[in-house]
Amino acid sequence: MNIMKTVFFPLLACNLWAINSVVAQNARPNIIMFLVDDMGWQDTSVPFNGNEVSALNLRYQTPNMERLARLGVKFTQAYSCAISSPTRCSLMSGMNASRHRVTNWTLEFDQKTDANSDVIELPDWNYNGIQPEATKGVINNSVAITSLPQILKDNGYRTIHCGKAHFGARTTPGADPSNMGFDINIAGGPNGAPGSYLGIKNFGEGSPFAVKGLEKYHGQDIFLTEALTIEAIKEMKKAVNEKIPFYLYMSHYAVHTPIEDDKRFSNNYRGKYDRQLKSKLGEKEAKYAALVEGMDKSLGDIMDYIQSDPKLAQNTIILFMSDNGGQALGYCREGVPNRDPNYPARAGKGSAFMGGVREPMLVYWPGVTKPGSICLQKVIIEDFYPSIIEMAGIHDYHTVQIVDGKSFVRCLKNVSDIDSNKSIVWHFPNLWGETQDIEEGYGAYSSILKGDYHLIYNWENGRFRLYNVKDDLSEQIDLSERLPEIVKKLSSELSDYLRERNAQRPSLKSDGKILPYPDGL
């Protein structure tokens, strides 16, 4: 009898612990991280310059973004890296790009994607991307991390990846989201763009950018954005039916090039008079606007599914963000390059200017966020890592990497509770392949945003530029000569930040010497 009691009560206690653990997990919120590719901060009918509606806001139709903004918080100072892979690696790791060193876009194993310079030699950055924790020290030019989805998975979440991955080089474990903490991988791989958005073209089958995993849609007249949404909703339904909290990383390939025709929406824009261009929209802009509206429909379809079940609706958080600024170059957009596409922000993807890094950000947390509110807190992409973990109610976790991001959860509870002293730092010691126009903020640079001032340092020519982005969002008036003390103060803070992370720097081709940090040391 005593033996049975000895056996029974520990088993009972163990079972009760297991039951309580399941209950605790089920009480955790579902989380949807909705990330758009190459979407500029003005590519929406939601105004992100406060409540000031721009000509570009009038161009686009994004009713579901408007709906999300009405429900939650709009962040008007949200930032990412200027290039896709660095942003995605920061989201997955919580590290600033200067620390994880995946500072340019990745694709093939052991291959850099930089342009060449006659003046500087670029550092040996992590062009093989982020990798699973277990590979630490095994794969050269990569960084092993404890990923965000892995932490969520270890704490009872079903983790779903849908769409673009682009955080590990081809043939490495990190190229497959299934190796990075995701239970489900829908169409994610090393490619940073779709070979095609069209089902009738098999989503680019046969090209290095082919979207794989959606073969059942091949030959069908379906747009990639729609196919991804259908598959994402299926996986969410499975998790709900099994009563498992889910994390959906809805990572669209849209609105990246190629700008193909989403026939569901393009006729909404063809021939439409546009106030920004002061002319009728041409084919490129009409098709681009259709890509945006197709993305917005995906958001709406997901929201419709979530809100079809009151219990699910009350326990699902939605975060919306873009991975870098909108394209601003003439080959893919209309109007004046580096001026019209992200106006009033200057330049776009790849540039140090605001057009390259300022993003549309929305968060809805039922019962927490105040409907229709605006938050002025500066947020950068690595901040999503600790924020999502905190939203999930996870407090005891370990990472192999140092996390730079800071949670913005307090701002969701009170939009006025902001850290006005927060600095945002970017580090791009690389040369983007599409342009090296230093005047427009491209080329190898590091920069810092603190308060109203944005300081940009170019590694090739050693030039500083300083802008007051509150008074001069278009960054047309360089204040560096007028305000040398601010330049000195910000260059010192930027340099200290980079030194603390042992950030890599270019070297001079003439003598092979590594260039000093921006403060000259």
pLDDT in tens, 335-359: 999 999 999 999 999 999 999 999 9
CA distance 2 to 8: 10
Q: At what angle do helices 84-93 and 384-391 cross, to 10 degrees?
A: 40
CA distance 156 to 354: 39
| Structural domains in the chain, sorted by start | 28-416 (3.40.720.10)
At 25 the pLDDT is 42
Taking the model in full, what pTM does it have? Answer: 0.94
The two beta strands, 246-251 and 30-36, are parallel
pLDDT at 13 over 80: no
Nearest to 444 by CA among 114, 186, 23, 28: 114
Contact of 436 with 442, CB cutoff 8 Å: yes
Nearest to 29 by CA among 383, 387, 297, 299: 387
Could you give the maximum distance between any two Cα atoms of the chain, in Å?
A: 90
At 10 the pLDDT is 32
* Length reported for the chain: 521
CA distance 310 to 32: 17
CB neighbour list of residue 325: distance below 8 Å, 6 or more residues apart: 38, 40, 41, 82, 342, 345, 347, 348, 349, 351, 354, 355, 356, 357, 358, 359
CB neighbour list of residue 64: distance below 8 Å, 6 or more residues apart: 296, 297, 299, 300, 303
Residue that is written with structure tokens 């876009």 in the block: 105
CA 241 to chain centroid, in Å, comes to 30
Contact of 289 with 268, CB cutoff 8 Å: yes
Q: What percent of the chain has pLDDT over 70?
A: 95
At 23 the pLDDT is 36
Phi-psi category of residue 427: left, alpha or beta, with phi > 0 → left and psi -120 to 50 → alpha: beta
Q: At what angle do helices 283-307 and 224-241 cross, to 10 degrees?
A: 10
CA distance 246 to 486: 46
pLDDT at 8 over 70: no
CA distance 183 to 68: 27
At 27 the pLDDT is 81
CA 448 to chain centroid, in Å, comes to 19
- The CA–CA distances, whole Å, from 238 to 96, 363, 382, 411 equal 34, 24, 29, 32
Coil, strand, or helix at residue 144? strand
Beta bridge partner(s), residue 364: 318
pLDDT at 222 over 80: yes
At 18 the pLDDT is 35
* Residue pLDDT, tens place only, 89-103: 999 999 999 999 999
pLDDT at 502 over 70: yes
Residue 255 preceded by cis peptide, ω within 30: yes
CA distance 325 to 477: 21
Q: What mean pLDDT value characterizes the chain?
A: 94
pLDDT at 22 over 50: no
Coil, strand, or helix at residue 468? strand
Q: What are phi and psi of 49, to 5 degrees?
A: -95, 70
Q: In this structure, what token pair is assigned to residue 347?
A: 């330049």
Q: At what angle do helices 283-307 and 63-71 cross, to 10 degrees?
A: 40
Contact of 17 with 233, CB cutoff 8 Å: no
The two beta strands, 379-380 and 423-428, are unpaired
Is residue 5 very low, low, confident or very high in pLDDT (cuts 50, 70, 90)? very low
Residue that is written with structure tokens 């612990």 in the block: 17
At 508 the pLDDT is 96
At 12 the pLDDT is 31
Residue 344 preceded by cis peptide, ω within 30: yes
CA distance 206 to 213: 13
At 420 the pLDDT is 95
Angle, vertex CA 54, rays to CA 474 and CA 286, nearest 5: 105
Contact of 241 with 235, CB cutoff 8 Å: no
* Residue pLDDT, tens place only, 167-214: 999 999 999 999 999 999 999 999 999 999 999 999 999 999 999 999
Nearest to 55 by CA among 344, 282, 262: 344
CA distance 110 to 25: 40
Q: In this structure, what token pair is assigned to residue 207?
A: 């090209």
